[in-house]
Amino acid sequence: MSVRLRFAPSPTGYVHIGSLRTALYDYLFAKQKGGEYIIRIEDTDRTRFVEGAIENLIDSMEWAGVIHDEGPMMEAGRIVEKGGYGPYTQSERLHIYKEHIEKLLESGHAYHCFCSRERLDKIREEQKAKGEMLGYDGHCRNIPMNEAKKRIEDGESHVIRLKLPKDREIVFDDLVRGKVTMNTNDSDDQVLMKSDGFPTYHLAVVVDDYLMGITHMVRGEEWLPSTPKQILLYEAFGWELPKFAHLPNILNTEKKKLSKRHGDVAVKDFMKKGYLPEALVNYIALVGWSPEDNKEIMTMDEMIESFSFERVSKSGGVFDVDKLNWVNSHYIKEADIDRLTKLCIPYLVEAGMLAEGEVEEKYEWVKMIMETARERICYLSQISEYAKQFFGEEVKLENDDVKDVLKLEHVQDLLNTFKDKVTNAEAIDAVFGKKVFKMIQKETGIKGKNLYMPLRAALTGQLHGPDIDKVIAILGRENIQKRIAYVEKHYI
């Protein structure tokens, strides 16, 4: 039987980096086994629905290269569903849940509960005061069906709860955690159908996973306590259990659960900053999992080949932005220069360094900047700050060491010779940038640090940085002349 895995997010806003990891593990395992990976939208909690969240989800996953085989997809600017197990949106499956809840009521595995919110709150406060486990006390468990139906006909508000067996050990194998044992006394009678006719997660996930042929239920560890209830639902329906895998949380560097309070956690945040998708996916795969050879830089195909749930850690993986930056900078260094240039242009336009109308005209110039930047930036939005050194005639000195270099006795003669070469050159390009130093050395006898450092200081205000021949080509004749004039006026 082919494996089928699903990623089932709620459309409540942005796609969390932890959600991307869950989807990625689903995808890697499904592809490795020649199976299917699907997306299902769990939108039964209508109070948390966010307009545009589904579009954001699809866009984020497509950007990351975690492409689903079935489920909602964007086509001509609108959402369409593809696959043979739809609808893939839970709010469109209410009739299915209603059919199945009736079966549970008929078999005695579920019951109507008429307890008011006030009563439930009072019970909770009493349990807190006594130090007891919080949960429903089973007050409505034994209401006869005919009485329940009469109360419903009379318009009394109600929910439907799962009738848990008392003191039963539930044992199951988890692909990440191994053998797990839980007792039903540690849970309460879970609500399966809310008073508004919408199912809770616990009913919907079981019904949907079974009807969609899901073989592996992969989700975060926060759902582990609910697994026994869902196993009992599978039993009540007479269905075969899927395999379970509960993933550890992603933690920040302080070993606390990663959240918006600690900085960027949405896939869109990293897209906006200019992280390459293959870098983010590579890194996020390793937050809680490692291949047998402990390789750190991996393509999607290599991850598909190497992935296994057995090598997923039981403890939370730490999301370290510094490590992500290291991975991303590696991919930037290896990426096609034209791809990087096209990705960086919007940042320069947004910063006002490049006008929309001159993108085509200045493309090769931006490409030269990118060739020097790729060795020095961790993510692409940093290009704006990096490129500032190539704009304007003002030269700001990095520190007093730069000023000391410009005060050296031979610097004025050196600048005069350099200005002459720049003024008379046919073109100021990378070829000129390489040749000009040999010409100056031959003419003046100045060489080594005494040649390179003062020229770099005069052009950039720094003693270290990108190759000076590339800096010369990027600045061009007019900017070089203006900068040298500025330095002569203010620092020499």
CB 140 within 8 A of CB 111: yes
Strands 36-39 vs 4-7: parallel, antiparallel or unpaired: parallel
Neighbouring residues of 146: CB distance < 8 A, sequence distance ≥ 6: none
The pLDDT score that the predictor gives to residue 261 is: 65
* Tokens standing for residue 165: 């067996």
Query: What is the identity of the amino acid at 320?
Result: D
- Residue ranges, CATH 1.10.8, the chain: 335-390
Superfamily of domain 4-90+250-321: HUPs (3.40.50.620)
The SS3 call for residue 71 is strand
CA distance linking residue 241 with residue 173, whole number of Å:
11
Per-residue confidence of the chain (492 residues) as pLDDT tens digits? 699 999 999 998 889 999 999 999 999 999 999 999 999 999 988 788 889 999 999 999 999 999 999 999 999 889 999 999 999 999 999 999 999 999 999 999 999 999 999 999 999 999 999 999 999 999 999 999 999 999 999 999 999 999 999 999 999 999 999 999 999 999 999 999 999 999 999 999 999 999 999 999 999 999 999 999 999 999 999 999 999 999 999 998 888 888 766 667 899 999 999 999 999 999 999 999 999 999 999 999 999 999 999 999 999 999 999 999 999 999 999 999 999 999 999 999 999 999 999 999 999 999 999 999 999 999 999 999 999 999 989 999 999 999 999 999 999 999 999 999 999 999 998 899 889 999 999 999 999 999 999 999 999 999 998 999 999 999 999 999 999 999 999 998
List the one residue out of 115, 39, 31 whose CA is nearest residue 72: 39
Return the axis-axis angle of helices 449-460 and 468-490, rounded to nearest 10°: 70
CB 261 within 8 A of CB 276: no
Fold annotation for 93-247: Rossmann fold (3.40.50)
List the one residue out of 43, 140, 170, 166 whose CA is nearest residue 97: 43
* Tokens standing for residue 175: 């692909």
- The CATH code for residues 335-390 is 1.10.8
CB 53 within 8 A of CB 268: no
- Running DSSP on this structure, what letter comes out for residue 415? H
Domain 400-490 has CATH 1.10.10.350: yes
Strands 243-247 vs 216-220: parallel, antiparallel or unpaired: parallel
Within 10 Å of residue 267's Cβ, how many Cβ atoms?
Answer: 27
The pLDDT score that the predictor gives to residue 262 is: 61
Within 10 Å of residue 84's Cβ, how many Cβ atoms?
Answer: 7
CB 314 within 8 A of CB 177: yes
Residues classed as catalytic: 260
Q: Which residues pair with 5 in a beta bridge?
A: 37, 216
The SS3 call for residue 193 is strand
- Running DSSP on this structure, what letter comes out for residue 133? P
Query: What is the identity of the amino acid at 135?
Result: G
